[in-house]
Amino acid sequence: MPSPLRIALIGAGNMGQLHYQHLRTLTEATLCAVADPGPQAAALAAEWGVGYFSDHRQMLEQVKPDAVIVANPNTLHVSTALDCLAVGVPVLLEKPVGVHLDEARELVAASKATGVPVLVGHHRRHNPLIVRARELVQSGTLGRLTTVTALWQLRKPDSYFEIPWRREPGAGMLLTNLIHDLDLLRHLCGEVRQVQAITQQRGARVCQRGLRGGVAAIRQWRTGQPDRLRRGGGALELGAGFRGEPDVSAPGRSAVLLAGRYGRRVKHSSAQTLALRRYRWGVA
């Protein structure tokens, strides 16, 4: 039996701790080190029984892990991943890839040049519900897509923003949360051809830090169907044509509706349920 893959964790905040909890369930991988300059990281590493480093570069040099999970603040994603690629260590990188397009392109180029893989943590693509939804779209069951509608609604408590980097440029709900929905729509519908958008800053906490508190956008996919995206005040709506249906507009849920020439398909999820339903016009 091969030895477990030795994985190091860079960033021991909420997401890093979730990654560790998952690693504990695997026999084919094991945590070998933690790198994080934060005050809680040393205690966590001791609790988990692995080495601790305040500097991830020192950890890479001394531990030489087989792979690394990068789960530090958004603005550090690309620079940290580049350090890993430079020493030949594959990376699982938390989303977003980066906070600027140029740095994301730099990371893509570095991965191609070194041949070292980078996987971005868009895990929702692998949800069985999403896998089935993509099969329905690609099989032509719905016909050509005509509109796309999605909703995400949540209010984050004030305590969420007590962590300093979450109040700084490069954080905010657009990059931290909306990125999931954008990725799923690209996964289900293909690449975006055109975007028109405006953003706004609302609320003292948002304006003082330069974060984007809302966005409105109209997009067209390469396959032709439009959608409208609206995100602000704790809610996200990607809509065209089916607002008002209970499955799409009910508060406290996230939902995606894809409409095609032959019918429509609703996927919705809440904290308690996941469901996938297919409709034909006029038939539930």
Full pLDDT tens readout for the chain, 284 residues: 689 999 999 999 999 999 999 999 999 999 999 999 998 999 999 999 999 999 999 999 999 999 999 999 999 999 999 999 999 999 999 999 999 999 999 999 999 999 999 999 998 888 888 888 888 888 888 777 777 776 666 667 777 777 777 777 777 777 777 788 888 888 888 887 777 777 665 554 444 444 545 555 666 666 655 555 444 332 223 332 223 333 333 344 456 666 666 655 545 454 444 566 655 555 44
Sign of CA dihedral 8, 66, 62, 82: negative
CATH architecture of 145-223+253-260: 2-Layer Sandwich (3.30)
Q: 270 near 159, Cβ under 8 Å?
A: no
**Max Cα distance, the chain (Å):** 64
Domain residue spans of the chain:
5-121, 145-223+253-260
Strands 29-35 and 91-93: unpaired
In the numeric block, the tokens 């830090």 are attached to 209
Stretch (H or E) spanning 210: none
Cα distances (Å, whole numbers) of residue 35 to 41, 192, 250: 8, 37, 41
Stretch (H or E) spanning 114: helix 101-114
CATH number among 3.30.1490.20, 3.40.1160.10, 3.40.190.10, 3.40.50.720, domain 5-121: 3.40.50.720
How much is the pTM?
Answer: 0.76
Q: Distance between CA atoms of 207 and 273, rounded to whole angstroms?
A: 35
Angle at 207 between CA 202 and CA 210, to 5 degrees: 125
pLDDT at 277: 63
Q: 61 near 88, Cβ under 8 Å?
A: no
